Amino acid sequence: MEKENKINKNELFLALISSLASTCWMQLGKVPNPITNKIEQDLENAQVTIEMLRVLKEKTQGNLTPEEERFIVTIISDLELNFADEVKKQHN
């Protein structure tokens, strides 16, 4: 039973990270809002969501599996690069 709970916790953690990432992709204007089906960019909130992911990574340091660590690092990196690209587009 204990192993089953651990698997569920790992899956829940990955789902949480995925959920935040999906929200951020929407905020970056990369995917449509599922409710309105429109592209709606909100870079200010995208930046907050990226910071939330950074805090989660920091607060869980030493408690993640190698897979979870790679997953969160990759997602944060991808989001940061896309955020920087969108900010650059606005200043051109």
Fold type of domain 2-90 = Methane Monooxygenase Hydroxylase; Chain G, domain 1 (1.20.58)
Neighbours of 17 (CB within 10 A): 19
- pLDDT string in tens for the chain (92-residue length): 455 565 688 899 999 999 999 999 999 999 999 999 999 999 999 999 999 999 999 999 999 999 999 999 999 999 999 999 999 999 88
- For the full predicted model, state whether its pTM sits above 0.85: yes
Closest C-alpha to 83, from 41, 54, 37, 40:
41
Label residue 37 left, alpha or beta by phi (over 0 means left) and psi (-120 to 50 means alpha).
left
Q: What pLDDT sits at residue 33?
A: 93
Distance CA 44, CA 47 (A): 5
Q: How far is CA 47 from CA 29, 42, 43, 44, in A?
A: 13, 9, 6, 5
The secondary structure of the chain in percent helix, strand, coil, rounded to multiples of 5, reads 75, 0, 25
